[in-house]
């Protein structure tokens, strides 16, 4: 048995040694991806990059699906059917091709889309978040193809759009029925195996049923005035106080391993209200961002908020008659000023997680870190779709979205080795 196992592993060992020997090709692939200018916003600029990835996958015998999520922003999904799909585990590798926006006044050393390497670090927009992860996974696929290795299990590669602006290209893949026994989102995690909390945005609207001239204000606030009217702006202050009370309650009553107390927050981000100085404000809208824990859903936390604000409104004579209205989520921060990032809990005992831990520890010869991301990725959409998943990629959050964004070439190499070993091992795991 041991002899047979070692013979299976021999091709993998040869490929792992090639990652180091051919690191210049790996870095060149990442540089090629960075040169495609795909910041979001403005977005609608990924087609050229996605066509490159589609062609790359087609050359590696993947069946490629490409469709526009928005004009100029297509998703790419490549599928390499396994030699024994019905008997062996399937895998999705997922990453987003869009990168953080770049302002004209940012002090980059040179054009952020002309990458360069210095002192073992590659610099350019998106190297950490997250074209480094895409490049490493694609290079692993290339090495498997060149070696003539066809996995027994199916391998799917997804290059999606819109993550930076909440456009959920990954959700669109799930809606089309692309699935697997396990998924890895190769996003920024500093090579930790991670789950994540979730985020949802929402609009709370306080609106009067009629309008009033500002000269009628004295009749609204004095005893015997006889006019049941109010400023929507002032009533929104009561709503905001209620949100703060709930946020403090959450900080005391809720917790999750790996997160500091109070990580679950309700941020009042934008307020809009009133129409003219001669009117009592008849409408006010508050845009909030809600962060919640991996063991919560966005449906759950929005219900809690609506219920709590309902109690606040019921204690106010005017809000009782003009209750706050709620709009949650959205499909794009650009298109409809809203977004959802579902949470993701990683099961450390799931065979996919264990295989990823094993691959990491084989390469690094040290214990893998399984924890939670302080930010959000598309990983939650897999959990939402019932696909077990984890986040695992090169780069760290201090570099993500940063001026002179950098990624260690050594970490890129090590990530590529781990993901190569994991693809190989998982693709050879029986169902």
CATH number at residue 356: 3.40.630.10
Confidence of residue 8 (pLDDT cuts 50, 70, 90): low
Q: What is the pLDDT of residue 24?
A: 98
Q: What is the pLDDT of residue 2?
A: 39
Same domain? 180 vs 227: no
Q: Is 337 within a domain?
A: no
Same domain? 36 vs 134: yes
Q: Structurally, how many domains does the chain consist of? A: 2
Q: What is the pLDDT of residue 222?
A: 80
pLDDT tens digits, 54-86: 999 999 999 999 999 999 999 999 999 999 999
Mean local confidence (pLDDT), 335-357? 97
Instruction: Render 383-411 in DSSP notation, one character per residue.
Output: HHTT--EEE--S--TTTTT-TT-EEEHHH
Token readout for 9 is 């592993």
- Judged by DSSP in three states, 261 sits in coil
Same domain? 136 vs 216: no
395 conformational bin, left if phi > 0, alpha if psi -120 to 50, beta if neither: left
Mean local confidence (pLDDT), 91-100? 98
Q: Is 359 within a domain?
A: yes
Distance, C-alpha 415 to centroid of its chain? 19
Q: Is 11 within a domain?
A: yes
End residue of a domain, out of 293, 328, 363:
328
pLDDT tens digits, 294-335: 999 999 999 999 999 999 999 999 999 999 999 999 999 999
| Separation between Cα atoms, residue 162 and residue 336, nearest integer Å | 13
Q: Is 338 within a domain?
A: no
* Of the candidate ranges 181-185, 225-229, 333-337, 354-358, the one whose mean pLDDT is the lowest: 225-229
**Percent over 70 (pLDDT), the chain:** 98
Q: What is the pLDDT of residue 4?
A: 37
Q: Is 252 within a domain?
A: yes
| Separation between Cα atoms, residue 136 and residue 128, nearest integer Å | 12
Put simply, whether the predicted model's pTM sits higher than 0.75 gets the answer yes
Catalytic-labelled residue, pool 163, 167, 339, 378: 163
Sign of the torsion angle spanned by Cα atoms 118, 121, 126, 132: positive
Q: Is 334 within a domain?
A: no
* Of the candidate ranges 4-8, 16-20, 131-135, 289-293, the one whose mean pLDDT is the lowest: 4-8
Whether residue 142 has pLDDT greater than 50:
yes
Q: What is the pLDDT of residue 1?
A: 37
Mean local confidence (pLDDT), 262-288? 96
Catalytic-labelled residue, pool 47, 73, 98, 425: 98
Whether residue 125 has pLDDT greater than 50:
yes
pLDDT tens digits, 406-429: 999 999 999 999 999 999 999 999
Same domain? 11 vs 118: yes
Note if 272 is an active site residue: no
State the residue range of the domain holding 165: 2-196+344-427
Q: Is 335 within a domain?
A: no
Same domain? 88 vs 183: yes
Same domain? 321 vs 369: no
Same domain? 232 vs 352: no
Q: Is 339 within a domain?
A: no
| Separation between Cα atoms, residue 25 and residue 336, nearest integer Å | 41
Q: What is the pLDDT of residue 11?
A: 87
Confidence of residue 3 (pLDDT cuts 50, 70, 90): very low
Query: Please, are residues 258 and 346 in contact by the beta-carbon 8 Å criterion?
Result: no
Residue 350 neighbours by CB under 8 Å, 6+ apart: 182, 388
Same domain? 297 vs 349: no
Q: What is the pLDDT of residue 224?
A: 80
Average model confidence (pLDDT) for the chain? 96
- Domain of 214: which CATH number? 3.30.70.360
Measured torsion, CA atoms of residues 35, 131, 363, 85, in degrees rounded to the nearest 10: -110
Same domain? 216 vs 192: no
Burial class (CB in 10 A: 0-12, 13-18, 19+), 222: exposed
End residue of a domain, out of 266, 300, 328:
328
Mean local confidence (pLDDT), 10-15? 90
Same domain? 281 vs 156: no
Same domain? 33 vs 96: yes
| Separation between Cα atoms, residue 336 and residue 339, nearest integer Å | 9
Q: Across 72-123, where does the E strand assignment appear?
A: 73-80, 91-96, 116-118, 121-123
Same domain? 144 vs 282: no
Q: Which of 429, 231, 206, 430 lies closest to 313 in space, CA to CA?
A: 206
Note if 98 is an active site residue: yes
pLDDT tens digits, 242-263: 999 999 999 999 999 999 999 9
End residue of a domain, out of 271, 299, 328:
328
| Separation between Cα atoms, residue 386 and residue 161, nearest integer Å | 21
- Judged by DSSP in three states, 213 sits in strand
Mean local confidence (pLDDT), 213-236? 90
Sign of the torsion angle spanned by Cα atoms 161, 167, 171, 172: negative
């Amino acid at each position: 048995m041991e002899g047979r196992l070692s013979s299976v592993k021999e091709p993998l060992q040869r490929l792992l040694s090639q990652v180091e020997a051919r690191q210049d090709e790996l870095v060149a692939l990442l540089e090629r991806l960075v040169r495609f200018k795909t910041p979001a916003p403005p977005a609608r600029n990924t087609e050229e990059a996605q066509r490159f990835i589609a062609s790359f996958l087609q050359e590696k015998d993947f069946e490629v699906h490409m469709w526009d999520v928005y004009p100029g922003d297509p998703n790419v999904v490549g599928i390499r059917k396994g030699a024994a799909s019905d008997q062996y585990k399937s895998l999705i590798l997922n990453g987003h091709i869009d990168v953080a926006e770049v302002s004209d006044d940012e002090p980059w050393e040179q054009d952020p889309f002309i990458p360069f390497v210095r002192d073992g670090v590659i610099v350019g927009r998106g190297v950490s978040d997250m074209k480094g992860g895409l490049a490493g996974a694609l290079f692993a696929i290339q090495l498997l193809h060149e070696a003539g290795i066809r996995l027994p299990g199916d391998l799917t590669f997804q290059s999606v759009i819109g993550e930076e602006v909440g456009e959920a290209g990954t959700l669109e893949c799930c809606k089309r029925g692309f699935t697997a026994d396990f998924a890895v989102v190769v996003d920024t995690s500093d090579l930790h195996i991670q789950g994540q909390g979730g985020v949802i945005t929402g609009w709370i609207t306080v609106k009067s049923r009629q309008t009033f001239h500002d000269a009628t204000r004295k009749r609204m606030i004095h005893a015997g005035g006889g006019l049941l009217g109010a400023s929507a702006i002032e009533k929104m202050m009561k709503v905001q106080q209620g949100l703060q009370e709930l946020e403090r309650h959450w900080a005391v009553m809720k917790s999750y391993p790996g997160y500091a107390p109070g990580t679950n927050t309700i941020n009042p981000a934008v307020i809009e209200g009133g129409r003219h100085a001669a009117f009592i404000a008849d409408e006010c809208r508050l845009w909030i961002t809600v962060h919640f824990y991996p063991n919560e859903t966005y449906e759950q936390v929005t219900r809690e908020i609506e219920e709590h604000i309902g109690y606040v409104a019921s204690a106010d004579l005017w809000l009782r008659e003009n209750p706050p209205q709620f709009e949650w989520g959205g499909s794009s921060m650009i298109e409809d000023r809203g977004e959802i990032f579902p949470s993701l809990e990683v099961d450390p005992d799931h065979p996919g997680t264990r295989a990823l831990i094993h691959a990491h520890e084989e390469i690094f010869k040290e214990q893998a870190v399984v924890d939670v991301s302080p930010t959000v990725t598309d990983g939650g959409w897999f959990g939402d779709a019932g696909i077990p998943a984890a986040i695992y990629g090169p780069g760290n959050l201090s570099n993500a979205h940063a001026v002179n964004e950098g990624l260690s070439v050594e970490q890129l190499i090590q990530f590529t080795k781990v993901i190569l070993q994991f693809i190989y091992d998982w693709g050879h795991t029986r169902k």
